[in-house]
């Protein structure tokens, strides 16, 4: 017996915003699990901004792309896995795959919806947690600005800052997203950067300056934040999504950098794997905050692997609120 699996191939490298026709959905036949192997059916796959720079080189043409996913073991001839086990894996962009077990980690949902392990309890949650508390050295009651605040990382960062009694300003690209930030997540001020002059609104909102700017966007957002930074402020640089469609991810000009000198502002990039040791504490805190209703989330779920290219492109047009993901099969 073998199963037919569909997978997403990149067939042409994009310039600028990717186009749907630069991807293809291919059918392949996946064999039975052999000795020491499992057959996994993916249920959900993650779609992440960092995949865009990979389209320019790292992803091979005419081969299955990859990325984070959650799947179910449907056949096992491996001593460590049984049929029905739910496994986090790096084999997204395909419906089924064979594995010898490397790179698979079992999920015990612990009463939480499975999808939360793809965002608040997964990589984007840990990114926000470590980036804000470790790299950003957030202290209770500080003044915080978060860009892309209605996204997967940003919405968690903004809520952690609220839990730490901070004054929080967020930016997002639509009125609906801004309303969600203020009305449901309790963020103090949300700025719709598409409908207003960001640096003016940020100046008006940041009456006590900014101690921590959680940077997700780069370019004009960084330029607007720099003059508002308080002495000894921190800018943990999580991402710069506004640059990712540019050749070589070249950022828009940033002109206000000299502000970091006399204010002694720290600007530091980080990558989520730096925080792996924090995972137990992170999971304890996040599960508690979710149960207490202090950590909320939204998901934008597109159905069917054929929609994966649309989901990836949608990250750059603001299609998602909260975590963007694709459902590949029913739980
Ligand atoms: N350092 C790490 O280890 C790490 C790990 C994960 C993610 N990241 C970074 O974290 C950031 C957020 O990632 P995410 O997964 O949570 O994605 P996300 O925020 O859920 O989705 C991307 C959002 O970015 C906004 N956006 C897109 N293009 C923009 C532009 N030109 N200017 C301003 N906003 C724009 C859109 O929202 P609007 O409607 O508000 O425009 C979109 O919904 C990205 O920069 C990503 O690279 C870093």
Q: Could you read off the pLDDT of 140-171 as tens digits, one per residue? A: 999 999 999 999 999 999 999 999 999 999 99
Q: Is it the case that residue 37 has pLDDT exceeding 80?
A: yes
Q: Could you read off the pLDDT of 71-108 as tens digits, one per residue? A: 999 999 999 999 999 999 999 999 999 999 999 999 99
Q: Does ligand 1 come within 6 angstroms of the Cβ of 315? A: yes
- pLDDT classification of 2: cutoffs 50, 70, 90: confident
* Predicted pLDDT at 23: 98
Closest CA to 233 of 210, 206, 255, 217: 210
The structural architecture, per CATH, of the domain 123-276+283-290 is 3-Layer(aba) Sandwich (3.40)
Measured from the Cβ of residue 150, the count of other Cβ atoms closer than 10 Å reads 27
Q: Which CATH superfamily is domain 3-119+298-327 in?
A: Medium-chain alcohol dehydrogenases, catalytic domain (3.90.180.10)
Quote the ligand 1 centre to 265 CA distance (angstroms): 23
Q: Does ligand 1 come within 6 angstroms of the Cβ of 148? A: yes
- pLDDT classification of 51: cutoffs 50, 70, 90: very high
d(CA 200, CA 173): 16
Buried b (16+ CB within 10 A) or exposed e, 249-285: beebeeeeeebeeebebbbeebebeebeeeeeebbeb
d(CA 155, CA 65): 27
Give, for ligand 1, the residue of 127, 195, 241, 298 to mutate: max count of ligand atoms closer than 8 Å to Cβ.
241
Contacts of 84 (CB under 8 A, 6+ apart): 72, 73
Domain ranges of the chain: 3-119+298-327, 123-276+283-290
Rounded mean pLDDT of 196-216?
98
Query: Number of helices (H) and strands (E), helices first, in the chain?
Result: 9, 15
Quote the ligand 1 centre to 239 CA distance (angstroms): 7
Beta-strand runs (E) in 54-110: 69-76, 86-89, 96-99, 105-106
Closest CA to 244 of 222, 225, 226, 219: 219
Backbone dihedral angles phi then psi of residue 24, each to the nearest 5 degrees: -135, 150
Residue located nearest, by CA, to atom 27 of ligand 1 = 316
Percentage of the chain beyond pLDDT 70 is 100
Cβ-count burial of 69 within 10 angstroms (0-12 exposed, 13-18 middle, 19+ buried)?
A: buried
Give, for ligand 1, the residue of 148, 252, 276 to mutate: max count of ligand atoms closer than 8 Å to Cβ.
148
């Amino acid at each position: 017996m073998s199963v037919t699996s569909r997978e997403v191939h990149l067939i042409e490298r994009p310039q600028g915003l990717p186009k749907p026709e630069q991807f293809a959905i291919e059918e392949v036949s996946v064999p039975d699990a052999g000795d020491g192997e499992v057959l996994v059916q993916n249920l959900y796959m993650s779609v992440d901004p960092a995949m865009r720079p990979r389209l320019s080189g790292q992803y091979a043409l005419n081969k299955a792309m990859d990325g984070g996913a959650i799947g179910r073991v449907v056949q096992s001839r491996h001593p460590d896995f049984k049929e029905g086990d739910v496994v986090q894996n790096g084999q997204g962009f395909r419906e089924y795959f064979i594995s010898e077990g490397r790179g698979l980690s079992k999920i015990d949902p612990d009463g939480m919806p499975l999808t939360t392990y793809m965002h608040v309890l997964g990589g984007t949650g840990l990114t926000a947690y470590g980036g804000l508390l470790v790299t950003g050295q957030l202290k209770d009651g500080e003044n915080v600005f978060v860009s892309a605040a209605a996204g997967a990382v940003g919405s968690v960062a903004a809520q952690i800052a609220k839990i730490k009694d901070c004054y929080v300003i967020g930016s997002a690209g639509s009125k609906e997203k801004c309303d969600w930030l203020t009305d449901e997540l309790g963020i103090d001020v949300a700025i719709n950067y598409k409908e207003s002059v960001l640096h003016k609104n940020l100046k008006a909102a940041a009456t006590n300056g900014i101690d921590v700017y959680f940077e997700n966007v780069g370019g004009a957002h960084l330029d607007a934040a720099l003059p508002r930074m308080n002495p000894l402020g921190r800018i943990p640089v999580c991402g710069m999504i506004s640059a990712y469609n540019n050749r070589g991810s070249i950022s828009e000009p940033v002109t206000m950098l000299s502000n970091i000198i006399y204010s002694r502002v720290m600007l530091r990039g980080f990558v989520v794997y730096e925080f792996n040791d924090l995972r137990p504490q992170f999971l304890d805190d996040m599960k508690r905050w979710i149960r207490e209703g202090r950590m909320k989330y939204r998901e934008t779920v597109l159905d069917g692997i054929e929609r994966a290219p649309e989901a990836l492109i949608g990250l750059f047009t603001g299609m998602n609120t909260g975590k963007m993901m694709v459902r590949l099969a029913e739980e």
